[in-house]
Structure 1
Amino acid sequence: MKPFQQPTNSRRDFLKLSALAAAGFALTSSGFAATTAPSVRPRRSEGRSLNVALIGTSGRAQNTIRDFLQIENVSVVALCDVDPARLARGVELASPKFPDARRYLDYRKLLETEKELDAVVITTPDHMHAAIALLAMSRGLHVFCEKPLSRTVAEARWMRDYARQSGVVTQMGTQSSATTPLRRAVEIVQAGVLGQVREVHIWTDRSARLPKTPATHEAPAGMEWDTWLGVAPSQQFNSHLHPFRWRWWQDFGAGPLGDMGCHLTNLAYRALDLSAPSEIDASVGDPLATGLFPASAKIDYRFPARGKLGPMTLSWYEGGRLPDTALLDACGIVKQFGSVVQNNKLIIGDKGILYGEQYIKLTGEERFNGITKHPACVAVPQTFARNSDQGTLGHYREWVEACQGRGTTFAGFDIAAGQTEMVLLGTVAAKLGRKIRWDAATMSILGEPAAAALLRPTYREGFTLSASELSKLSA
Structure 2
Amino acid sequence: MKRRTFIKQTAAASAAFTIVPSFVLGKTHVPPSDTLYLAGIGVGGRGGGVVRELAATGKVKFVALCDVDDNRAAASFEAHPNAKRYRDYRKLYDAHLSEIDGIMVGTPDHTHACIALPFMKAKKHAYVEKPLTHNIREARMMAEVAAQQGIVTQMGNQGASGDGIRLAQEIIDAGLIGQVQKVDCWTNRPVWPQGFKRFSESQPIPETFDWDLWLGPAAMRPYNEGYHPFKWRGFWDFGTGAMGDMGCHIMETPFKTLGLRFPYEAEASCTTVWIDDFVEADYPAACPPSSVVRLRFKTDKHGDIGLNWYDGGIMPDLPTELGDGELPGDTGGGSIFHGTEGIMVTGTYSANPRLLPAERMSDFTPPPQTIKRVTAGHAGEWVEACLNGGETSSPFSYGGPLTEAVLMGNLAIKAFQYKQLKEGKKVGDWAPYNYPGRKTILWDGDAMKVTNYDKANDWVRRNYREGFEV
Equivalent pair of 1:199/1:314 in contact (CA under 8 Å): yes
Letter in 2 for 1:404: L
Q: Provide the secondary structure at the position in 2 that maps to 1:135.
A: helix
Correspondence for 1:198 among 181, 185, 205 = 181
Which deviations, in whole Å up to 9, do the C-alpha atoms of 1:79-134 show, x marking residues without a partner? Answer: 11011222333212x2xxx3311100111101110130111100011111111111
| Structure 2 length-normalised TM | 0.82
Distance 1:405 1:286, change over 3 A: same
> Aligned equivalents of 2:35 and 2:397: distance in 1?
26
Q: Aligned-pair distance for 1:287?
A: 2.3
> Aligned equivalents of 1:382 and 1:43: distance in 2?
29
> Aligned equivalents of 1:227 and 1:337: distance in 2?
42
Which deviations, in whole Å up to 9, do the C-alpha atoms of 1:363-420 show, x marking residues without a partner? Answer: xx662427xx623xx333413x21224xxxx111110111112321110000000000
Provide the identity percentage.
Answer: 36
Correspondence for 2:206 among 220, 223, 237 = 220
- In the alignment, structure 1 residue 254 sits paired with structure 2 residue 267: no
Which deviations, in whole Å up to 9, do the C-alpha atoms of 1:213-246 show, x marking residues without a partner? Answer: 9965222114221111111112221211111111
> Aligned equivalents of 1:106 and 1:48: distance in 2?
29
Question: Which residue of structure 1 lines up, in the alignment, with residue 425 of structure 2?
Answer: none
Q: Aligned-pair distance for 1:205?
A: 1.2
Correspondence for 2:170 among 182, 187, 199 = 187
Distance 1:336 1:211, change over 3 A: closer
- In the alignment, structure 1 residue 308 sits paired with structure 2 residue 301: yes
- In the alignment, structure 1 residue 209 sits paired with structure 2 residue 214: no
> Aligned equivalents of 2:326 and 2:29: distance in 1?
52
Q: Provide the secondary structure at the position in 2 that maps to 1:331.
A: coil
Cα root mean square deviation, aligned: 2.8
Question: Which residue of structure 2 lines up, in the alignment, with residue 414 of structure 1?
Answer: 397
Q: Aligned-pair distance for 1:303?
A: 1.8
Pairs aligned (count): 417
> Aligned equivalents of 1:335 and 1:80: distance in 2?
46
Q: What does 1:262-301 correspond to in 2, within 5 Å?
A: 262-287=248-273, 290-301=284-295
Which deviations, in whole Å up to 9, do the C-alpha atoms of 1:9-56 show, x marking residues without a partner? Answer: xxxxxxxxxxxxxxxxxxx99x9xxx9xx6445754232411111101
Question: Which residue of structure 1 lines up, in the alignment, with residue 36 of structure 2?
Answer: 50
Distance 1:404 1:459, change over 3 A: same
Higher relative contact order (CA 8 A, sep 6+): 1
Question: Which residue of structure 1 lines up, in the alignment, with residue 128 of structure 2?
Answer: 145
> Aligned equivalents of 1:211 and 1:453: distance in 2?
21
Equivalent pair of 1:250/1:292 in contact (CA under 8 Å): yes
Q: Provide the secondary structure at the position in 2 that maps to 1:437.
A: strand
Distance 1:153 1:211, change over 3 A: closer
Q: Aligned-pair distance for 1:210?
A: 4.8
- In the alignment, structure 1 residue 116 sits paired with structure 2 residue 99: yes
Structure 1: gaps (5+ residues): 1-27, 466-475
Question: Which residue of structure 2 lines up, in the alignment, with residue 456 of structure 1?
Answer: 461
Distance 1:336 1:464, change over 3 A: closer
Letter in 1 for 2:158: Q
Equivalent pair of 1:190/1:272 in contact (CA under 8 Å): no
- In the alignment, structure 1 residue 388 sits paired with structure 2 residue 375: yes
Correspondence for 1:86 among 57, 63, 72 = 72
> Aligned equivalents of 2:445 and 2:304: distance in 1?
16
Letter in 2 for 1:402: A
- In the alignment, structure 1 residue 63 sits paired with structure 2 residue 49: yes
- In the alignment, structure 1 residue 361 sits paired with structure 2 residue 355: yes
> Aligned equivalents of 1:166 and 1:87: distance in 2?
30
Equivalent pair of 1:297/1:321 in contact (CA under 8 Å): yes
Letter in 2 for 1:449: D
Distance 1:462 1:155, change over 3 A: same
